[in-house]
Amino acid sequence: MNSLQALQKYFGYSAFRHQQEAIIQHILNGQDVMALMPTGGGKSLCYQLPAVLLNGLTIVISPLIALMKDQVDSLNVSGIPAAFLNSAQNPDEQRQLVEKLRNNQIRLLYLAPERLFGAENKLVPFLKTLNVVQIAIDEAHCISSWGHDFRPEYLMLAQLKTEFPNVPVIALTATADKLTQKDILEKLNLNKPKVFVSSFNRANITYRVIPKRNSFQQLVNFLNERKDESGIIYCLSRKSTEDLADDLKAAGFAAEAYNAGLSSEIKVRNQEAFLRDEVKIIVATIAFGMGINKSNVRYVVHIDLPKNIEGYYQETGRAGRDGLASEALLLYSPGDAGKLQHFARIEGNEAQSRIMLNKLNDMVRYCQLQSCRRQYLMNYFDEAFPPNCGSCDVCLTEFKRFDGTLIAQKALSAVARLNERFGINYVIDFLRGSKSEKIRDEHKQLKTYGIGADISKPDWQRYIRELLTMGYLQMGGDEYPIVKLTDQSAAVLKGLQKVEFIESETVEETHTHVQAP
Ligand code: ADP
Ligand code: ZN
């Protein structure tokens, strides 16, 4: 049987998606692989299909028991013998499982990393007596402290390649961030790994950001129009998930809370009720969702600002796994940004704080965009994308634009005259001819000083932000953020490139700027 036949026979699909086929071929050739695919992209198949074709045992490392049970059940339904090891199994069940493993009757064995390399560590010697043909590491970003979901127990997986040097390893994640990728490869010690990056675009999801005002009312308005549909609402704190779920229930919605602080009994109950469509809305912290394979989630709402684009994108990616039109709505407030900045400053060491603040800054920029949000997201993950997706709020809104070439030239020449060494606020004060002592005397002598006095400070902030987004300016600097020119600036300064600005804002004017620590 070749892989396409196996795809049809065991999984009932007619064709491979993304790079599934190439990934599978590499595994079948015995090579290490790292596969990056968006949530819902079809990662599981990349190791499940080789597991069927190779006549041996595939070990699957996965962080969550709930996920394992789900996958094992659906594999067994498809006629693929799979099992998982967990602490709830009694000695009898364990004995049976060991027997089946010895007889090569199991194709996939799901394990949490701490089971594999736990205190007693009797498992690895046993597994070595079996015909292990593949090791799959799901949610591989959990090994990286740069990622958004670091799990210390994943660090033990560094031993895998020593214990099973000849077994191909496939690491899978939906986290595309470069730093995390590099970290995963290093920590896992993969042998000449081939890295597969699939497009992260989720064409069926519409992205929207609205200014957060009266969030409960805004939410109710949104939900009233989607009464029969399932969705996830993400909150920052555990307590607010419970309060909000209560308020929604009181308002007549079938909602339940989910957070890591609830008893496992309640968590399982709420999660299963959601999977069975008895509960339409789950109000959750980011603890909810990893590996939840519910295909008909129609919307994901972020009622609080996410900490970074990676997390946001993964959470919104839980909508529309069935490929049908779905929505991602984010309620943005500068106050939330301020709160998260504070957390980022006090969390971790200085280098970690700086990374967290930079990531938060990118998240805030996303909220303030006046250009295509999807393009921004794709560019964030180093993927090129045209500037008009037609299905984000920015692209769906007809903006009135005006010729802002002169404004752009003023801003760019100010940055040039200041030798690209000052921050946004200084550039603006300089443009506006501020009498402040903060403006150096030598700068007050320049011809450019005060050439933008006719434009208000908030407008200048908006224009500069847009110039940053359009790539005519960029942020730089190690100590503190400074504004610099780009390769595209010269064309504007020479009058070869016209620049257009949007006449009025969609998102409330904000003056948040995230400073480095
Ligand atoms: P991920 O782990 O990347 O988030 P999954 O492996 O759960 O995604 O797959 C998402 C959905 O896509 C699942 O319902 C899966 O059965 C389906 N799927 C995977 N591969 C294919 C394919 N080649 N054709 C059609 N559906 C697929
Ligand atoms: Zn768009």
Give the contacts of 461 (CB within 8 A, at least 6 positions apart): 424, 428, 511
Whole-number Å distance, alpha carbon 44 to ligand 2 midpoint, is 29
pLDDT at 514 over 90: no
Q: What is the mean pLDDT of the chain?
A: 90
pLDDT reported for residue 304? 97
Give the model's pLDDT for residue 512. Answer: 42
Q: What is the reported pLDDT for 517? A: 39
Mind listing the pLDDT tens digit for each residue in 119-178?
A: 677 899 999 999 999 999 999 999 987 766 788 889 999 999 999 999 999 999 987 677
Q: What is the mean pLDDT of residues 321-345?
A: 93
Q: Which of 151-155, 206-210, 228-232, 337-341 has the lowest mean pLDDT?
A: 151-155
Contacts of 163 (CB under 8 A, 6+ apart): 124, 128
Q: What's residue 386's pLDDT?
A: 82
Pocket test for ligand 1, best of 11, 34, 44, 200 (most atoms within 8 A of CB): 44
Could you tell me what percent of the chain has a pLDDT over 90?
Answer: 67
In terms of Cα–Cα distance, which of 143, 149, 137, 139 is closest to 183?
143
Tens digits of residue pLDDT in 163-197 = 999 999 999 998 767 788 899 999 999 999 999 98
For residues 228 and 385, the model is more confident at: 228
pTM of the entire structure?
0.62
Q: How far is CA 208 from CA 200, 331, 451, in A?
A: 18, 9, 36
286 vs 234: CA distance, rounded Å: 7
pLDDT band at residue 290 under the 50/70/90 scheme: low
Pairing of strands 473-476, 482-485: antiparallel
Tokens 């993927």 correspond to: 383
Task: Return the residue whose CA atom lies nearest to atom 20 of ligand 1.
Answer: 42
Please state at what angle helix 350-368 crosses helix 373-380, rounded to 10 degrees.
Answer: 150
Residue 115 has what pLDDT?
87
Q: Is the ipTM of this complex over 0.95?
A: yes
Ligand 1 pocket mutation pick from 5, 11, 199 by most atoms within 8 angstroms of CB: 11
- Please state the three-class secondary structure of 106-126 as a single string: CCEEEECHHHHCCCCCCHHHH
As a whole number of angstroms, the distance between CA 101 and CA 90 comes to: 17
Statement: residue 199 has pLDDT above 70: yes
Asked which of 22-36, 81-95, 242-256 is least confident by mean pLDDT, the reply is 81-95
Q: Assess whether pLDDT exceeds 90 at residue 15.
A: no
**pLDDT the model gives residue 502:** 80
Atom number, ligand 1, closest to the C-alpha of residue 295: 14
Mean pLDDT of 379-401: 85
Helices (H), 189-227: 215-224
Residues 59, 62: Cα–Cα separation, whole Å: 10
With a Cβ cut-off of 6 Å, ligand 1 is lined by 13, 16-17, 20, 37, 39-45, 293, 295, 321
In this prediction, residues 108-126 reach a mean pLDDT of: 87
The partner residues of 332 in beta bridges, in order of sequence, read 211
| Ligand sitting nearest the alpha carbon of 371 | 2
Q: How far is the CA of 467 from the centre of ligand 1 (A)?
A: 39
- Distance from CA of residue 56 to its chain's centroid? 34
- Closest atom of ligand 1 to 14 CA is 24
Whether 471 and 491 have beta carbons less than 8 Å apart is answered as no
Atom of ligand 1 nearest to the CA of 7: 23
Our CA angle for 307, 425, 440, nearest 5°, is 145
Number of Cβ atoms within 10 Å of the Cβ of 452: 23
Band of residue 41 on the pLDDT scale cut at 50, 70, 90: confident
CA of 189 to the centre of ligand 2 (A): 39
Q: Residue 511: which residues within 8 A CB-CB, separation 6 or more?
A: 334, 458, 461
Please name the residue that has the structure tokens 């984010």: 330
Query: 505 or 195: whose pLDDT is higher?
Result: 195
Quick one: which atom of ligand 1 is closest to the CA of 16? 23
Q: 149-158: buried (b, 16+ CB within 10 Å) or exposed (e) per residue? A: bebebbbbbe
Helices (H), 369-452: 373-380, 393-396, 405-417, 424-431, 441-444
**pLDDT in the model for residue 91:** 87
Distances (CA, A) of 41 to 17, 316, 391, 468: 8, 13, 19, 32
| The pLDDT of residue 349 | 87
Of the ranges 23-32, 268-277, 489-498, which is most confident? 23-32
